């Protein structure tokens, strides 16, 4: 199974008014806005939002904290699109580059554009806590990350490391697992 | 025929049961079909909804992560649901995201098409919700072909079951009919049988205790009651038949029974080639008993006579009473005609001993007519009539005897019938007249009386003998009128003689026993004497010995009463009939008339002379005047004179004459014509002989 990107929307992409339109559309629906922009980051943000609905945390709080680490520009996009939104009744808060204490409060940690060493360090920082780690590469999953949204042509492929998920006591919906590529970890070596 | 068949209980019951079952099953089938159709549509809707929800839920991830392939795979699962012809998955924006089409139906590109709800398709549209948000929507459409087909199958099955039910109901109806109408038919056939065969011993079998059984029970009771009543009616009928065939007085078979029995016996005799005989018995003197002693006594006498007769006939013979004093006996299996005569003689003989009824000694005789039928005879004669004729012949020839039927008797009987009819008008037509024959005193030679004799001169048949018409008059009852007529004529004539020389001259009148025994006979004599104005001492009533039949006391009483009047009473034709000297001595006669047969039998024989002598002496010893009839020769006259007879009568002395004043004028001169000369001549001859 090969997930594909959605068919091209009628609106042609434009570097200039994409962010503006994305913002406008976000007022109505973040996914529509992201789709409309044909922007990979928006798609990733939308996927992150969707992920919140297919993963169950063991502590079951009434809000979700999404931390963003790394050098990529996904932090502002996520902040822009998801912060303050509600997912299944839970308020989403985005913490870009969270502090150590903030990191402890995170439910999802989005790792963007990071070297394997950085990834490893971040995963180490999390320790054994139930934090869903989301990355952008196949290597991320193999390096001890849990979910990766990997671009494959014009499609976005979800890859999942089930062992890590279980270790962190996170439950992922089988519906999502049906779409995902299950990847085994290689022991966390960079 | 067809209508009648439709009207039978059998057809009606089966029709009713089948119709009822059809109605019930039809109603049930229609209801079930309707409910089934409605519920199956409802079920389809529910299933579509459920399916849409499941598919939708399974498609949320595909929608959220924009995985059309996965969505198509989820929708493909509907292939196992053949009734679902299309599934359209729309994303959150209402755009077609994935579709599944099983038939020719295609999805619209945007959501919101109104759901189909017609006979062909049913569709549902469900919003897909996940995590409190709409993930899109799904439209499922199912065609109704399958449902309709299943409903059709259901209906066919129901119709099949309905037909089966009707068939079963028909069978049940037939069974029911057999249980209801068969017993009814049995009842009907039993009734028919009873009606046609008239047998009441038939009973209907009773099974169970239902209404039919009660009906059968009632029917049996009714038949029982009918049988009982029929038995009573039959017994009554038998009694009536028996009564109608039996003589109430003597309990002997009556005329009707006799006629039947005679027919029966004739047929049997013809079959068995046996001779059959019939005796026709008429009692002599019964009428006298009835008239003088009353009917009660007569009835008692008849009963005793019947008992005596019954004791003398064989068991195989049939003794019957025809009525009055007439009896008959059918004699079966005779060897010879003489057997019949023997039987008749035995019956006559059994009556010789007098009957004693309430102290009265009564004697009756019997005149019997005999007829026999030979087995060879092919004729079918009226035996009863033959015997009747023979019986009359017996009566005429002196009574108390049996006469065998002959062809001549048949002729006589017819002639007799003619005469009887003629005799009824003879007196009125003056055909009957009286002649007088003189009687003389043998001592003085003087005329003492005339005997009145009735004569009948018929305009066509000529002179008819009294021996012929007197019995007819007696049998027909005309004897009373005739007797009175003769007596009155004679008395009036006698009165005229009293003025002639030689008076007084008596008149002797013969009186039939029937006349004599009538209740008012003495009164009648008295009134005739009064009317004629004749002194009673000039009348001599002459009775035959037959008056002795009947009650001796009554006869004696009546003779005494006549003598009290002054009338003389003579016994006529003495020595020929029932003469019983015992009776004679008890009856107060004044004179005795010796029958002519003692003198007329080819001249007097020594025996007849002795008998006449004895009778004369007997009469004298009893103080009676003795008259001798039938003197035709002078030597007879001489003989009886010597014997001491008082009076003489005969052709020698004078023939009967209608006008004795003319033809016997000399008689009135005081003596027998030439009698003295004759007597003298005889004496002279005797003297010469002696001398």
B504 prior amide bond cis, ω within 30: yes
Give yes or no for residue A2 having a pLDDT over 60. no
B490 and B347 inside one domain: no
Q: Which of B70, B93, B130 sits opposite A53 (nearest CB)?
A: B130
Q: Which of A1, A89, A179 sits opposite B61 (nearest CB)?
A: A179
Nearest to A157 by CA among A134, A130, A138: A138
Beta bridge partners of B440: B447, B648
- The pLDDT score that the predictor gives to residue A7 is 40
B58 and B144 inside one domain: yes
**Nearest C-alpha in B relative to A49:** B64
- The pLDDT score that the predictor gives to residue B668 is 67
Q: Which residue has the higher pLDDT, B391 or B114?
A: B391
Q: What are the strands, taking DSSP E only, across B28-180?
A: 84-90, 96-101, 121-130, 133-143
Beta bridge partners of A181: A159
Q: What is the 3-state secondary structure (H, E, C) of B385-454?
A: HHHHHHHHHHHHCCCCCEEECCHHHHHHHHHHHHHHHHHHHHCCCCCEEEEEEEEEECCCCCEEEEEEEE
- The pLDDT score that the predictor gives to residue B204 is 78
Give yes or no for residue B321 having a pLDDT over 80. yes
The two three-digit tokens of residue B678, written as one number: 């004759």
Domain-embedded: residue B469:
yes
Q: What share of chain A is helix, strand, coil (3-state, %, to 5)?
A: 40, 25, 35
Whole-angstrom distance, CA of residue B247 vs CA of residue B253: 6
Q: Measured at the alpha carbon of residue A178, what is the angle toward residues A5 and B58, in degrees to the nearest 5?
A: 90
Give yes or no for residue B604 having a pLDDT over 70. no
Max avg pLDDT among B78-87, B459-468, B490-499: B490-499
Q: B414, exposed or middle or buried, with CB in 10 Å at 0-12, 13-18, 19+?
A: exposed
CATH of the domain at B455: 3.20.20.450
Which chain A residues have a beta carbon less than 8 Å from that of B58? 175
B174 and B156 inside one domain: no
Instruction: Mark which residues 72-131 of B lie under 8 Å from A by CB.
Output: 92-93, 130-131
> What confidence tier does B565 reach under pLDDT thresholds 50, 70, 90?
very high
Tell me how close the Cα of B104 comes to any Cα of chain A, in angstroms: 25
CATH of the domain at B359: 3.30.70.270
Domain-embedded: residue B420:
no
- The pLDDT score that the predictor gives to residue B43 is 87
Nearest to B329 by CA among B413, B391, B271: B391
Give yes or no for residue A14 having a pLDDT over 70. no
**pLDDT exceeding 90 applies to what percent of chain B?**
23
Output phi, psi for B585, to 5 deg. Answer: -70, -25
Report the pLDDT averaged over residues B549-561. Answer: 84
Whole-angstrom distance, CA of residue B262 vs CA of residue B260: 5
B377 and B498 inside one domain: no
B551 and B494 inside one domain: yes
Q: Which of B65, B69, B93 sits opposite A50 (nearest CB)?
A: B65
At what angle are helices B383-396 and B407-426 packed, to 10 degrees?
70
Which chain B residues have a beta carbon less than 8 Å from that of A31? 92
Give yes or no for residue B607 having a pLDDT over 50. yes
Report the pLDDT averaged over residues B672-683. Answer: 52
Rg (CA), chain A: 16
Which chain B residues have a beta carbon less than 8 Å from that of A53? 64, 130-131, 133
Best to test chain B binding among A56, A87, A175 (most B CBs inside 10 Å): A175
- The pLDDT score that the predictor gives to residue A17 is 53
Which chain B residues have a beta carbon less than 8 Å from that of A173? 61
**Nearest C-alpha in B relative to A179:** B70
Q: Which of A5, A89, A178 sits opposite B70 (nearest CB)?
A: A178
A181 in contact with B, Cβ within 8 Å = no
Report the pLDDT averaged over residues A98-123. Answer: 85
- The pLDDT score that the predictor gives to residue B3 is 44
> What confidence tier does A29 reach under pLDDT thresholds 50, 70, 90?
low
Domain-embedded: residue B424:
no
Q: What are the strands, taking DSSP E only, across A106-146?
A: 108-112, 132-135
B197 in contact with A, Cβ within 8 Å = no
Which chain B residues have a beta carbon less than 8 Å from that of A90? none
Whole-angstrom distance, CA of residue B359 vs CA of residue B551: 10
Domain-embedded: residue B423:
no
Q: B4, exposed or middle or buried, with CB in 10 Å at 0-12, 13-18, 19+?
A: exposed
Name the average pLDDT for chain A.
78
Name the average pLDDT for chain B.
84
A76 in contact with B, Cβ within 8 Å = no
- The pLDDT score that the predictor gives to residue A35 is 47
Cα→Cα distances B55→A175, B58, B62, B85, B99, Å? 12, 5, 11, 14, 12
Q: Which of A2, A29, A178 sits opposite B92 (nearest CB)?
A: A29
B543 and B395 inside one domain: no
Give yes or no for residue B382 having a pLDDT over 50. yes
Domain-embedded: residue B110:
yes
Report the pLDDT averaged over residues A63-70. Answer: 90
Q: Which of A155-169, B4-18, B400-414 is least confident?
A: B4-18
- Does the distance separating the beta carbons of A53 and B92 come in below 8 Å? no
Domain-embedded: residue B416:
no
Nearest to B347 by CA among B332, B363, B366: B366
Q: Which residue has the higher pLDDT, B555 or B417?
A: B555
- Does the distance separating the beta carbons of B66 and A178 come in below 8 Å? no
Whole-angstrom distance, CA of residue B647 vs CA of residue B8: 107
CB B25 within 8 A of CB B155: no
A1 in contact with B, Cβ within 8 Å = yes
Beta bridge partners of B328: B280, B320
CB B630 within 8 A of CB B596: yes
Which chain B residues have a beta carbon less than 8 Å from that of A6? 66
- The pLDDT score that the predictor gives to residue A36 is 42
Whole-angstrom distance, CA of residue B389 vs CA of residue B170: 84
**pLDDT exceeding 70 applies to what percent of chain B?**
92
- The pLDDT score that the predictor gives to residue B17 is 82
Q: How many independent structural domains does chain B possess?
A: 4
Report the pLDDT averaged over residues A70-91. Answer: 87
- Does the distance separating the beta carbons of A6 and B67 come in below 8 Å? no
Whole-angstrom distance, CA of residue B348 vs CA of residue A43: 166
- Does the distance separating the beta carbons of B67 and A47 come in below 8 Å? no
Whole-angstrom distance, CA of residue B164 vs CA of residue B401: 101
- The pLDDT score that the predictor gives to residue B554 is 85
Tell me how close the Cα of B119 comes to any Cα of chain A, in angstroms: 36
B464 and B546 inside one domain: yes
- The pLDDT score that the predictor gives to residue B681 is 53
Best to test chain A binding among B61, B74, B76, B91 (most A CBs inside 10 Å): B61
Q: Which residue has the higher pLDDT, B204 or B512?
A: B512
Domain-embedded: residue B627:
yes
C-alpha B615 chain-centroid distance:
58
C-alpha torsion angle, residues B624, B625, B630, B635 (rounded to 10): 110
Report the pLDDT averaged over residues A137-157. Answer: 86
B626 and B655 inside one domain: yes
Which chain B residues have a beta carbon less than 8 Å from that of A35? 66
pLDDT digits (tens, 9 = 90+) for B216-266: 888 888 888 988 998 999 999 998 888 888 888 888 998 888 888 888 888
Provide the domain limits for residue B303.
255-405
Whole-angstrom distance, CA of residue A135 vs CA of residue A112: 6
A89 in contact with B, Cβ within 8 Å = yes
CATH of the domain at B93: 3.30.450.20
Cα→Cα distances B431→B98, B319, B423, B515, Å? 160, 43, 9, 21
B571 and B607 inside one domain: yes
Whole-angstrom distance, CA of residue A94 vs CA of residue A74: 11
Give yes or no for residue A122 having a pLDDT over 60. yes
Give yes or no for residue B499 having a pLDDT over 70. yes
Max avg pLDDT among A9-13, B183-187, B284-288, B389-393: B389-393
- The pLDDT score that the predictor gives to residue B227 is 87
Tell me how close the Cα of A7 comes to any Cα of chain B, in angstroms: 10
Give yes or no for residue A10 having a pLDDT over 50. no
Which chain A residues have a beta carbon less than 8 Å from that of B92? 29, 31-32
The two three-digit tokens of residue B393, written as one number: 């012949």
Q: Measured at the alpha carbon of residue B91, what is the angle toward residues B87 and B93, in degrees to the nearest 5?
A: 130
Give yes or no for residue B629 having a pLDDT over 80. yes
Q: Which domains does chain A have, with CATH numbers?
A: 39-182 (3.40.50.2300)
A154 in contact with B, Cβ within 8 Å = no
B76 and B33 inside one domain: yes
- Three-state DSSP state, B583: helix
- The pLDDT score that the predictor gives to residue B118 is 78
Best to test chain A binding among B57, B59, B66 (most A CBs inside 10 Å): B66
Q: Which of B57, B58, B64 sits opposite A50 (nearest CB)?
A: B64
- Does the distance separating the beta carbons of B131 and A4 come in below 8 Å? no
- Does the distance separating the beta carbons of A47 and B61 come in below 8 Å? no
State the count of interchain CB pairs (< 8 A) between A and B: 51
CB A101 within 8 A of CB A145: no
pLDDT digits (tens, 9 = 90+) for B652-667: 888 888 888 776 666 6
> What confidence tier does B379 reach under pLDDT thresholds 50, 70, 90?
low
> What confidence tier does B130 reach under pLDDT thresholds 50, 70, 90?
confident
Give yes or no for residue B169 having a pLDDT over 60. yes
pLDDT digits (tens, 9 = 90+) for B515-544: 888 888 999 999 999 999 999 999 999 998
B53 and B70 inside one domain: yes
Domain-embedded: residue B425:
no
B479 and B618 inside one domain: yes
Handedness of CA A29, A32, A33, A39 (dihedral sign): positive
Give yes or no for residue B490 having a pLDDT over 90. yes
Give yes or no for residue B441 having a pLDDT over 60. yes
Whole-angstrom distance, CA of residue B657 vs CA of residue A162: 189
- The pLDDT score that the predictor gives to residue A33 is 43
Domain boundary among B148, B165, B182: B165
CB B526 within 8 A of CB B471: no
Give yes or no for residue A25 having a pLDDT over 70. no
B546 in contact with A, Cβ within 8 Å = no
B67 in contact with A, Cβ within 8 Å = yes
pTM for this prediction: 0.42
Give yes or no for residue A133 having a pLDDT over 70. yes
């Amino acid at each position: 199974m090969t997930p594909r990107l959605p068919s091209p929307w009628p609106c042609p992409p434009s570097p200039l008014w994409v962010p503006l339109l994305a913002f406008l559309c976000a007022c109505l629906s973040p996914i529509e806005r992201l789709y409309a922009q044909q922007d990979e980051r928006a798609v990733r943000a939308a996927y992150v939002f969707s992920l919140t609905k297919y993963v169950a945390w063991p502590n079951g709080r009434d809000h979700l904290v999404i931390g963003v680490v790394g050098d990529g520009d996904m932090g502002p996009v996520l902040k822009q699109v998801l912060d303050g939104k509600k997912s299944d009744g839970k308020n989403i808060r985005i913490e870009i580059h969270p502090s150590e204490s903030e990191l402890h409060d995170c439910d999802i940690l989005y790792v963007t554009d990071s070297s394997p060493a950085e990834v490893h360090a971040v995963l180490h920082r999390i320790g054994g806590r139930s934090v869903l780690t989301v990355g952008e590469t196949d290597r991320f999953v193999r390096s001890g990350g849990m979910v990766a949204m990997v671009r494959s042509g014009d499609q976005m492929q979800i890859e999942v490391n089930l062992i890590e998920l279980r270790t962190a006591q996170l439950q992922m919906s089988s519906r999502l697992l049906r779409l995902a590529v299950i990847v085994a970890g290689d022991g966390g070596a960079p | 025929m067809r209508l009648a068949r439709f009207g039978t209980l059998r057809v009606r019951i089966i029709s009713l049961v089948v119709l009822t079952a059809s109605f019930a099953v039809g109603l049930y089938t229609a209801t079930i079909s309707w409910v089934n159709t409605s519920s199956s549509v409802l079920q389809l809707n529910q299933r579509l909804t459920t399916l849409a929800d499941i598919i939708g839920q399974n498609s949320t991830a595909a929608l959220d992560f924009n995985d059309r392939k996965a969505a198509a795979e989820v929708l493909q699962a509907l292939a196992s649901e053949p009734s679902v012809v299309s599934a359209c998955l729309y994303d959150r924006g209402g755009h077609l995201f994935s579709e599944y089409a099983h038939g020719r139906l295609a999805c619209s590109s945007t959501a919101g098409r109104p759901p189909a709800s017609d006979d062909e398709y049913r569709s549902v549209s469900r919003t897909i919700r996940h995590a409190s948000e709409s993930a899109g929507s799904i439209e499922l459409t199912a065609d109704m072909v399958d449902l309709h087909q299943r409903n059709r199958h259901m209906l066919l099955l129901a119709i099949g079951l309905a037909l089966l039910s009707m068939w079963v109901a028909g069978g049940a109806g037939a069974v029911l009919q057999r249980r209801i109408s068969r017993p009814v038919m049995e009842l009907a056939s039993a009734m028919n049988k009873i009606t046609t065969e008239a047998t009441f011993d038939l009973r209907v079998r009773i099974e169970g205790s239902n209404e039919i059984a009660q009906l059968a029970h009632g029917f049996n009771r009714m038949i029982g009651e009918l049988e009982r009543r029929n038995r009573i009616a039959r017994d009554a009928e038998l009694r009536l038949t028996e009564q109608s065939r039996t003589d109430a007085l003597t309990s002997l078979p009556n005329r009707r029974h006799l006629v039947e029995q005679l027919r029966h016996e004739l047929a049997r005799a013809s079959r068995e080639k046996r001779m059959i005989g019939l005796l026709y018995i008429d009692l002599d003197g019964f009428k006298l008993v009835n008239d003088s002693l009353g009917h009660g006594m007569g009835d008692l006498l008849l009963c005793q006579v019947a008992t005596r007769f019954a004791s003398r006939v064989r068991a195989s013979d049939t003794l019957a009473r025809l009525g009055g004093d007439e009896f008959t006996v059918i004699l079966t299996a005779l060897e010879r005609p003489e057997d019949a005569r023997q039987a008749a003689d035995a019956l006559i003989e059994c009556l010789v001993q007098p009957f004693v009824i309430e102290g009265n000694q009564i004697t009756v005789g019997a005149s019997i007519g005999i007829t026999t039928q030979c087995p060879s005879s092919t004729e079918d004669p009226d035996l009863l009539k033959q015997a009747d004729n023979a019986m009359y012949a017996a009566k005429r020839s002196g009574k108390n005897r049996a006469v065998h039927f002959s062809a001549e008797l048949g002729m006589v009987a017819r002639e007799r019938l003619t005469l009887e009819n003629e005799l009824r008008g003879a007196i009125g037509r003056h055909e009957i007249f009286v002649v007088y024959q003189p009687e003389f005193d043998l001592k003085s030679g003087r005329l003492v009386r005339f005997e009145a004799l009735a004569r009948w001169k018929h305009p066509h048949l000529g002179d008819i003998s009294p021996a012929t018409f007197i019995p007819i008059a007696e049998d027909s009852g005309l004897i009373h009128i005739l007797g009175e007529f003769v007596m009155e004529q004679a008395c009036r004539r006698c009165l005229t003689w009293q003025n002639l020389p030689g008076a007084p001259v008596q008149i002797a009148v013969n009186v039939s026993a029937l006349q004599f025994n009538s209740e008012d006979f003495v009164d009648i004599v008295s009134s005739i004497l009064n009317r004629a104005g004749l002194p009673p001492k000039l009348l001599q009533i002459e009775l035959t010995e037959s008056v002795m039949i009947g009650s001796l006391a009554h006869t004696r009483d009546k003779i005494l009463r006549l003598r009290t009047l002054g009338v003389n009473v003579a016994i006529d034709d003495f020595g020929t009939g029932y003469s019983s000297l015992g009776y004679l001595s008890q009856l107060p006669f004044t004179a005795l008339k010796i029958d002519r047969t003692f003198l007329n039998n080819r001249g007097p024989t020594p025996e007849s002379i002795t008998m006449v002598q004895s009778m004369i002496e007997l009469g004298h010893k009893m103080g009676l005047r003795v008259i001798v009839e039938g003197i035709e020769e002078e030597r007879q006259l001489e003989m009886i004179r010597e014997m001491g007879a008082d009076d003489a009568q005969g052709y020698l002395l004078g023939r009967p004459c209608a006008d004795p004043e003319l033809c016997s004028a000399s008689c009135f001169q005081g003596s027998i014509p030439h009698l003295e000369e004759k007597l003298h001549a005889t004496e002279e001859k005797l003297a010469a002989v002696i001398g």
